[in-house]
Amino acid sequence: MRLRNSRAAILAGVVLSLATTAAATADGALRVCADPNNLPFSNSAEAGFENKLATLVAAHFSEKVSYTWWAQRRGFIRNTLKADKCDVVMGVPAGYDLVETTKPYYRSTYVFVTRQDRQLDLSSLIDPRLHHLAIGVHLIGDDGNNPPPAQALGDQGIVDNVRGYSIYGDYRKPNPPARLIEAVESGDIDVAAAWGPLAGYFAQHSLVPLTVTPIRDTERFAPQQFQFAIAMGVRKGDHALRDRLDAFIDERRSEVNALLRSYGVPLVDMPVTASGGGQ
């Protein structure tokens, strides 16, 4: 999932409206825009959890899934959802301003990934060992667009021992963002700071046992955020479709949570509103 500023790494990673009434196409298809090479979120083999979620949604509405494939880089929303080539983005940060978002269907966090055999027991962003360990982070572009862990490390003067791995990577190879987690696996770096769904999935599939730990002690780096709620996105103004998707999320939340857990997604409780509901 990739967005501007601290949200940029999520839509990348990370981080497109249904068809019927104001939603369904003539052939009753759920038209999804997705990246064909971006596990654990989506790929052309439909092996990502957003692919599986799309299948759940389509079945719920007695529709089939059709895809428009486009790399999740600059212009993704413009060339897909806004171009009316598809109707729903299966994963965007809640409140993403380029689309109309549903209620969140999960919330996750940035994590540290280490080799189990190193027994680093690392979780705090202010751990003094971070000044000396080889740390890997995803990079989006200029400093203003890099993920929260990269910015927080820089705020502490932790720079020389930090290695950047492009979130976009070499698109000719499968799942470019996975290179960061592979660097921990191979021992090229001691620890990776990564978006939880991506880290959890590739750690789960690593040949070397890896430890995934939510990053804590982030308060001093406000307004940087390290946890994000993820929703589905439809075209602005498509309230009918948004409401149908909201109903799906309410009715099938336990199945969605089980799907996410099966992919190793670290789930964080939703904040509770004054009325008692999750945001």
For residues 219 and 84, is the Cβ–Cβ distance under 8 A? no
- In the beta sheet, which residues pair with residue 66? 31
pLDDT digits over 45-58, tens only?
999 999 999 999 99
Is the pLDDT at 83 greater than 60? The verdict is yes
- 40 vs 16: which has the higher pLDDT: 40
Label residue 17 by pLDDT band (50, 70, 90).
Answer: very low
Label residue 274 by pLDDT band (50, 70, 90).
Answer: very low
- Average pLDDT of the chain to the nearest whole number: 88
The pTM is what?
Answer: 0.87
pLDDT digits over 181-211, tens only?
999 999 999 999 999 999 999 999 999 999 9
pLDDT digits over 29-46, tens only?
999 999 999 999 999 999
- Reduce the DSSP state of residue 179 to 3 states and report it: helix
Is the pLDDT at 1 greater than 80? The verdict is no
Label residue 272 by pLDDT band (50, 70, 90).
Answer: low
> Which of 14-18, 141-145, 240-244 is least confident?
14-18
> Which of 93-107, 156-170, 244-258, 264-278 is least confident?
264-278
Write 241-246 long-range contacts (CB < 8 A, 24+). Answer: 241/17, 241/18, 241/20, 241/21, 241/22, 241/23, 241/87, 241/88, 242/100, 242/101, 242/102, 244/18, 244/20, 244/23, 244/61, 245/18, 245/57, 245/88, 245/102, 246/102, 246/103
For the chain, domains (ranges, CATH) are 5-106+228-262 (3.40.190.10), 108-221 (3.40.190.120)
pLDDT of res. 22: 31
